Structure 1
Amino acid sequence: MTKRAPIILHDQDTIAILPDGAQAGEDPLGIGAPLAARVPAGHKIARKGHAAGDTILKFGQIIGTASAAIAAGEHVHSHNCAFSDHGQEYRIGRDLEQAKAAIPVLAPRSFDGYRRANGQIGTRNYIALCATVNCSATVIRQAAQELSLSGALAPYENVDGVVAFTHGTGCAMNNRGVGFAMLERVLWGHATHPNVGAAIFVGLGCEVMQIAHMKQVYGAHHAERFHGLTIQETGGTRATIEAIKARVMELLPQVNAVRREPCPASALKVALQCGGSDGFSGITANPALGVASDLLVGLGGTAILGETPEIYGAEQLLLHRAVSGEVAAKLIGQIRWWEEYVAINKGSLDNNPSPGNKAGGLTTILEKSLGAVAKAGATPLTAVYDYAEEVTAPGFVHMDTPGYDPVSVTGQIAGGAQVVVFTTGRGSAFGSKPAPTIKLATNDRLYAAMPDDMDINCGDILSGGVSLADKGAEILEAILAVASGRPSKSEALGLGDNEFVPWQVGAVM
């Protein structure tokens, strides 16, 4: 097979990407500079010579500096490219008018969803069991498992299942701290999610995260779907399992009574995620998802970016299209918090690229971030949210989350995302509940290697000449189909029960 030409993403780039890799002795650039060793697919070679300290550009942006002299045609990676200052003189709103013009004008679209009495619109219909504390994790898992094995749910065709949201915290924490507020938002956001028809909170009884407190703070808005009990008041472990099962059986007819009906696509909130990224992520799947994000915004919906450590080095591209100084200031504040957070924990934001990311061709967090923000498309940044905060603004928004996929998606779903779209280059076995995950492969090899996990192949953008516009439209159609009830690959595999992972911040006492 003839190897494809090196990819140059921007005229100013000082590197090129090898879509098929190259062997020792080959001269991919045709400049009389044979490679000293094999270079894997998705990795970079220098378009020009670099002296030590010179900036290295990809996407027309700085991805690092040369840590040693680099000859033209030489492999550029961790051995000679180092993390560096990317410049943080932000020009707020510089590209706002251009971003506004990027919002497509589209005819209204619809999907078949579940309308809730309070105005929410869901894409799934679950009964949620929510542990307020680790002490009640076992009883809700056991109750969910026993209900599933008993066949009791079979007559209720409009109920997607009973899902147990368990976690490892809820006590020995500061009840006025940031971590407490995050957990409270996560629990309430899942219990009252549009994809949840009814929820049962289960506590031990003496924990810091009290059911009564949550009901006092939030309950008036969702009283018809809120139920709660504690192990200590119910009579112990076995009695509580039986009580949970009995309550679920009471709720099933009510939850099953709702039917799918046409709903506007403008009601959709879609979480944008990437995990196991590679050198193709920023070339195929991420920009294709960016096109789909723009289309969703054009339909009046909401695209939710996350993973703040994975926009580091590219945050200026988002700030250039912020709708206001207030929105920009909140994002900058989150960036500064992360810089301090990793510093006090004796880390660096450049620790983020994993070994798998680096094996796939990504060298620094700056490079990874520039590819990651491509998921966000080109429309204005309309709002910035804290972790698990309810998302209310339409358009493209950002939520402060870690880069760790389960924690990040847990926050986005708590904020109201009814569908998750997840790009991956190395491969991911991720799924989520109550919002289904659609997975996009960045390359043909992965799509062929993990066919049961990948919903869409974006590798044909390079191998088959498929345009980003066409791939973005394909992704949007998949979002609408999954929102209407078509199972995603991760749903068919049963994934999602173990990916509920609230972000834990603060002292454990």
Structure 2
Amino acid sequence: MEQKQLFLQIHPEDNVLVALQDLPAGMEVRFGDKPVRLVSGVKAKHKFTIGALEAGAEVRMYGVLVGRTNAALPPGETITTQNIHHAADSVKLGERKLDWHKPDVSAFEGRTFMGYHRSNGTVGTANYWLVIPLVFCENRNVSVMKQALEEQLGYSKRLRDYEPEVDQLIRLYRAGSTVEDILNADITASKTQEGGQRLFAQVDGIKFLNHNMGCGGTRSDADTLCGLLAGYITHPNVAGATVLSLGCQNAQASILRGEIAKRDPLFDKPLYIFEQQLMGTETNLIREALKHTFAGLMQANQLQRQPAPLSKLCVGLECGGSDGFSGISANPALGFVSDMLVAMGGSVILSEFPELCGVEQELSDRCVDEATALRFIELMKTYNARAEAAGSGFDANPSPGNIRDGLITDAIKSAGAAKKGGTSPVTAVVDYPGVANKPGLNLLCTPGNDVESTTAEVGAGANVVLFTTGLGTPTGNPITPVIKLSSNTTLYERMPDIIDVNCGTIIEGTEAIEEAAHRILDYIIEVASGDTQPKAVQLGQDDFIPWRRGVSL
């Protein structure tokens, strides 16, 4: 791609072009031998028609149907939510299309990362202890344990201390400042507070997870929660866990133990479960939980990082705050990384099923067998039907920010989002909250909600998450490093405190997708080895939201 290219046709069958920079109304651009005069100004990331389209005509991007026109459109017309609506091709069981071009991975042959080897054969990229409630009634006790343990053991994060700014505001108020004086005041005295030295050097942290589930919903919700928590407890990045239970809730400790056994029949990590209604006073509960947690940390501290092949990486693929460049820069770069990992025997997880709408046929055809393809088709249909029954549907997925930055329909968003999954065959289709760490490309049924989906991918086994964004989002995870990749350089420069890797170089033409993929994989290895902390880890961005199996897009 040339550095000053004005537009891009993503696929030869597309009848719209993507503006790579702001294009003024009346400007004439040439597509091949054909002049196209722009009817109105086209903002960067948005799309405009190549030729005239009749009312009801197909709008195609990435080679697939992404919408239909609401009225006749002339050449050079910007597509908007007013002149097109969501449309996608229907899906049916087709022939297997399992041929794919394996990328050259010779540059990474023999490469390893330094990880924590678990007895079940998995390898962690970190070593955490968990303190989790089985029901929201125990959230306060989890917080009490956090207050008692975190700072004392040296796990307080480097936090931005804004007390000096507040002190300045108080002084201004006491001096008689007006509201306007306060709003115009220059308060720039913030400082960074250092955490103390860790007592247990080989334990990356204690993670205290709160949630609002465990009782009061359906029994199915409780079972699903126990499955998710079991996924975290058995996760390769976790050394052991302390679980607080009230006792009478739907999410029983016996259900949790059963879910753990499903995932790891020979589970041998330290696991301590305390039931408040049996133990009596809060003091008894907390003191016993603290003793056992400290003993567990002593055991966890005995582990050391050891070399592991890249095939032991299980990488979650996520996007959030997407823009019109996501599908042509960051997401295809992740797709190349995905194919590289698969070629080396690793695992990747593609989730967010509402954002696969319109590309179901391609993905189902890539499933290794018909049973896997039928499972994917059925999960997609069931999910969409449930959303429609609640008065919504996959077409309601794009957010106002997505639309503002060029993702006009769900199918447009989906076609770009699916690029994260590369081109390799789909080896497994998994429903939430199952395990999705089979070598190859795994499809995991989750909502498009960033945090719910990331939470689910980690519960399914992802020991690294790659998260692309065009608008910017701080999303992280308590136990798995989340690497943030920007689709454009402007975002990378505007939000350097949350973005780790810039893929805007692809848009600018200074780097090819393959080159960016190699750079990303090098960075993954650094993070997986504990040599580099991504921004979400540095910020302590420990987002954890279990998906309640209702409608969440």
Shorter-chain TM-score category?
A: over 0.9
- Letter of the aligned partner of 1:172 in structure 2? G
Q: Normalising by structure 2, report the TM-score.
A: 0.87
Partner amino acid, structure 2, of 1:184: C
Which of 379, 384, 388 lines up with 1:334 in the alignment? 379
State the distance in 1 between where 2:271 and 2:461 align: 17
Name 1:491's counterpart in structure 2: 537
Report the equivalent of 1:205: 247
| Alignment counterpart, residue 156 of structure 1, candidates 196, 200, 205 | 200
Alignment of 1:50-449 (within 5 A): 50-93=53-96, 95-96=97-98, 98-99=99-100, 101-102=101-102, 104=104, 106=106, 107-151=109-153, 154-175=198-219, 177=220, 179-219=221-261, 221-449=266-494
Residues of 1 paired with 2:251 and 2:134: CA distance? 6
Please identify, of 212-221 and 126-135, the stretch whose mean Cα deviation from structure 2 is larger: 212-221
Range 70-79 or range 247-256, more displaced: 247-256
State whether residues 364 and 374 of structure 2, in contact with CA within 8 Å, keep that contact through their aligned partners in structure 1.
no
Deviation at 1:92, TM superposition (A): 3.5
SS of match in other structure, 2:413? helix
- CA–CA separation in structure 2 for the residues paired with 1:87 and 1:344: 19
Measure how far apart 1:123 and its partner are.
0.6
Whole-Å Cα distance in 2 between the matches of residues 169 and 263 of structure 1? 37
CA 1:151–1:405 in 2, change beyond 3 Å: closer, same or farther? same
1:505: Cα distance to partner?
Answer: 2.0
Give distance in 1, aligned partners of 2:87 and 2:320: 23
Q: Secondary structure at the match of 1:465?
A: coil
Are 2:55 and 2:70, in contact at CA under 8 Å, matched by a contact in 1? yes
**Conserved? CA contact 1:291–1:472, under 8 Å:** yes
Could you tell me the percent identity over the aligned residues? 35
1:467–1:506 CA distance, 2 compared to 1 (3 A): closer
Indicate if the aligned counterparts of 1:92 and 1:328 stay in contact, CA closer than 8 A.
no
Give the distance between the partners of 1:23 and 1:239, measured in 2 at CA: 70
Q: CA deviation at 1:5?
A: 2.0
Post-superposition CA distance 1:446-469 (Å, at most 9, x none): 111111111110000121431111
Unaligned runs of 5+ in 1: none
CA contact (8 A) 1:192 1:225 kept: no
| Residue 462 of structure 1 pairs with residue 504 of structure 2 | no
Alpha-carbon distance in structure 1 between the residues aligned to 2:550 and 2:492 = 40
SS at match of 2:115: strand
Identify the match of residue 43 of structure 1 among 28, 46, 57. 46
Q: Displacement of 1:34 after TM fit?
A: 4.7
2:338 counterpart SS class: helix
TM-score (norm 1): 0.94
The one-character-per-residue Cα deviations of 1:358-387 (angstroms, maximum 9, x if unpaired) are 011011111111101100011111111111
> Is 1:29–1:73's contact at 8 Å kept on the other side of the alignment?
no
Q: For residues 464 and 171 of structure 1, do their structure 2 counterparts lie closer, same or farther at Cα, with a shift above 3 Å needed?
A: same
Deviation at 1:182, TM superposition (A): 2.0
CA distance in structure 1 between the aligned counterparts of 2:283 and 2:71, rounded to whole angstroms = 65
CA distance in structure 2 between the aligned counterparts of 1:336 and 1:438, rounded to whole angstroms: 31
- Quote how far apart the aligned CAs of 1:181 are: 3.1
User: CA separation in 1, counterparts of 2:51 and 2:37?
Assistant: 14
8 Å CA contact retained: 2:15, 2:49: yes
1:143 touches 1:242 (CA, 8 Å); kept in 2?
no
Shift of residue 245 of structure 1? 2.5
Task: Say what the alpha-carbon RMSD is for the aligned residues.
Answer: 2.0
1:320 to partner: Cα distance: 2.1
Distance 1:506 1:495, change over 3 A: closer
Q: Distance in 2 between matches of 1:240 and 1:506?
A: 34
SS at match of 2:269: helix
- For the residues of structure 1 that align with 2:9 and 2:83, how far apart are their CA atoms? 20
Specify the alignment match of 2:16 in structure 1. 15
- Determine the C-alpha separation between the residues in 2 that align with 1:423 and 1:65: 28
Larger Rg: 2
Q: SS of the counterpart of 1:145?
A: helix
How far 1:409 moved relative to its partner? 1.2
Q: Give 1:415 deviation, angstroms.
A: 1.1
User: 1:29: how far off?
Assistant: 4.3
What is the CA-CA distance between 1:234 and the residue it aligns to? Answer: 2.8
Residue 224 of structure 1 aligns to a residue whose secondary structure is: coil
Count of aligned pairs: 500
Shift of 1:37: 3.9
Q: 2: distance between equivalents of 1:33 and 1:314?
A: 29
Number of the residue aligned with 1:26: 27
Structure 2 gap segments, 5+ residues each: 156-197
- Measured in 2, the distance between the counterparts of 1:16 and 1:230 equals 60
Structure 1 counterpart SS, 2:316: strand
Distance 2:258 2:440 in 1: 31
Shift of 1:436: 0.6
Alignment match, 2:547: 503
Conserved? CA contact 2:215–2:222, under 8 Å:
no
